[in-house]
Amino acid sequence: MAKIKCAIIGSGNIGTDLMIKIMRTARHLEMGAMVGIDPASDGLARAARLKVPVTHEGIDGLLRLPEYRDIGVVFDATSAKAHIHNNALLQRDGKKVIDLTPAAIGPFTIPVINGDANLDEPNVNMVTCGGQATIPMVHAVKRATKRLIYGEIVASISSKSAGPGTRANIDEFTETTSKAIEILGGAERGKAIIILNPAEPPLIMRDTVFTLSQGGDKAEIEDSIEQMAEAVRQYVPGYRLKQKVQFEHIGDNAPVRIPGIGLASGLKTTILLEVEGAAHYLPAYAGNLDIMTSAALVSADRWAALKLARETA
């Protein structure tokens, strides 16, 4: 079966996990290069042992690799700031770019919401780990109601699963995720919070989603949420609802004040999630990284399948 070669920029936790996923589970992709900036990184060492071409000279090193010419898609797992520079060079050379940083140069993409809509975009943004886990739930409430006034997510991850790149992107995480709650989730107002939990032993990723909506039936909302959870499980088997969906009526006699909207009433929905990683490279508690790499792989694999189909048509 024909496959398209790909490169990963960023040899840290996310990049290394993604490499292993591609080598084990990708249908239409194969590794073409692993790129880092630390010659002693475990990711580069592991890639070299697996006979993947490597460079520790970042994007410049990738451009000099003889294999670069045959690379069709590049995953960027660095930082929001670095991605701006990397993307400019990659777009110049006509490479498809999958952005795993919060830079948000290309359209927000979550496979279960709008994955197929962005297949032809030169750059797609995978939002954030918290966004990949929670925004499908916000969208599930939106499609079952007439008006989704507010969506708030709280992502709690083990501090051990937050590497230098994640920590450097905290501000971008909240801004990007909040915006995506509105654009992809469909909320009129979105808010995102991330918590790095230092507990030992490390705790699995937990997420809480709050929404305020109007014009929806509880049973229909709950059914929409369960259907969405099942859809996400198709590429993240460890994704699950932690307990039954909770509802609370916010009456006109005691409305809540939402910044930018004002006083509002309606149905408050609380969704509690847990995301367990597949442990391809990272521990199972790092579900926050696993859902990001899984979503990126699904998006790139769909694009590759379409490209190969067009070439053989």
Q: Which of 29, 73, 112, 129 is catalytic?
A: 129
Instruction: Collect all residues with Cβ–Cβ distance below 8 Å to 256 and sequence separation of at least 6.
Output: 212, 250, 263, 264, 265
Q: What is the pairing mode between strands 4-9 and 71-76?
A: parallel
Asked whether the CA dihedral 132, 112, 259, 209 is positive or negative, the reply is negative
> Rounded to the nearest 10 degrees, how much is the dihedral formed by the CA atoms of 182, 155, 106, 289?
-160
Residue 6 annotated in active site: no
Catalytic residues: 129
